[in-house]
Amino acid sequence: MRFLFIGDVVGEPGRKGLAATMPSLREKHVPDLVIVNGENSAGGIGINGKAAAEIFDAGADVITLGNHSYRHRDSYAFLESESRVVRPLNFPPGNPGHGWTIIDAAGMKVAVLSLSGGLELLVERNPFPAVDEALEEIGGNADAVIVDFHAELTSEKVAMGWHLDGRVAAVLGTHTHVPTADARVLPGGTAHMSDVGMTGSRDGVIGVKREQALERFRTQMPVRFDTATENIWVMGAAVDVRDNGLATSIDQVLEPAPTS
C-alpha cells in the first residue's frame, strides 16, 4: 500500500493549488490513500465545511487537523459528524470531533491518527502516553497506523518517531510549514519526517503575505495576516507500507502547482 501525505493546506490558494496539482501527483506516485492536513485551509487558519469539501473533492480520503481545529465555531457540528476529519486525539475527550479514523486502502484497514505536541501548544494530555492508549484501543482493528504529529518542536517530533518506531507505519510532522531534510525509515520500520511542509505560497512567510509578516517582526505590533497567493507549492511525503503495517520507503514531495 502506498499513501500520499500532504502538509498544511493554507487558505484558498492552498486548496486551489492542491486541486490543480493532484492529477500529476496521482500519476507520479499512484497512491492508494491520500491524507491531507487541513489545519489552515479556511482563510489561512482553521477549517470549515466548505474548505473540507474542496479538499475532499481534490482527492483526499482523510483530513487531519491541529491546534486551530476549533477556530471556526460553525465547524463544530461538522467535526462531530464527519469521521474522515480527525482532530488531535489528546485534546479533551469531550471536545467536538474524532481523534482517529479507520479507512480501507489497498485491501488494508488503515488507522489515521491526529496528535498534537505537548510543548508550546495547548493539549489536555501528554502526547506520548496518549498515543500509547490510542494504539491499545485500536488494537487489531487496523492493519497499519499513520500518525500526523502536529507539533512545534523538532526535538519532540524526532522523539515521537523513536517512541513509535516499529509500532506504526509512519510518524509525519506538521505545523511549522517548513519541510525538514530528515525523511527516512527508522530501524523498526516506521517512516518519519519531522515536518513535511505546507501547501501554500513560497513567496510569503509560512503562507501569509510577506510584507505583513515583515511589518509584524519589525514593529512587534499586531498586524492582520492575509494568505499569500503567489508561487504555490504542494509539499508532503509518499510512503510505501508492507502488509505487516511497516514502511519500506519514504519520498519527500515538493511540487509547484501549475499556473493558469
End-to-end CA distance of the chain: 33
The mean per-residue pLDDT over the stretch 135-142 comes to 97
Q: Is 68 a catalytic residue?
A: yes
**Residues 70/94, Cβ–Cβ less than 8 Å:** no
Please say if the pLDDT value at position 125 is more than 80. Answer: yes
Q: Can you tell me the mean pLDDT for 111-133?
A: 95
Confidence of residue 260 (pLDDT cuts 50, 70, 90): low
The C-alpha atoms of residue 91 and residue 194 are separated, in whole angstroms, by: 21
Q: What is the pLDDT of residues 10-32, one digit of tens each?
A: 999 999 999 999 999 999 999 99
The overall pTM is greater than 0.75: yes
**What was the pLDDT predicted at 122?**
87
Look up the CATH number of the domain holding residue 170.
3.60.21.10
Pairing of strands 108-116, 100-105: antiparallel
Please tell me the total count of domains within the chain: 1
What is the DSSP annotation of 149-181? EE-S-HHHHHHHHHHHTTTSSEEEEESS-S--S
Q: Which of 29, 68, 150, 192 is catalytic?
A: 68
How confident is the prediction for the chain on average, in pLDDT? 96
Provide the domain limits for residue 236.
Answer: 2-256
Q: Beta-strand (E) ranges in 69-143?
A: 85-86, 100-105, 108-116
**At a CB cut-off of 8 Å and minimum separation 6, what does 31 contact?**
2, 3, 4, 25, 238
What are phi and psi for residue 136, nearest 5 degrees? Answer: -65, -40
At residue 77, does pLDDT exceed 70? Answer: yes
Is residue 86 within 8 A of residue 62, CB to CB? The reply is yes
What is the DSSP secondary structure assignment for residue 123, as one 8-state letter?
-
Region 123-131: mean pLDDT is 96
Task: Please tell me the predicted confidence (pLDDT) of residue 10.
Answer: 98
Per-residue pLDDT of 206-251, as tens digits, reads: 999 999 999 999 999 999 999 999 999 999 999 999 999 999 999 9
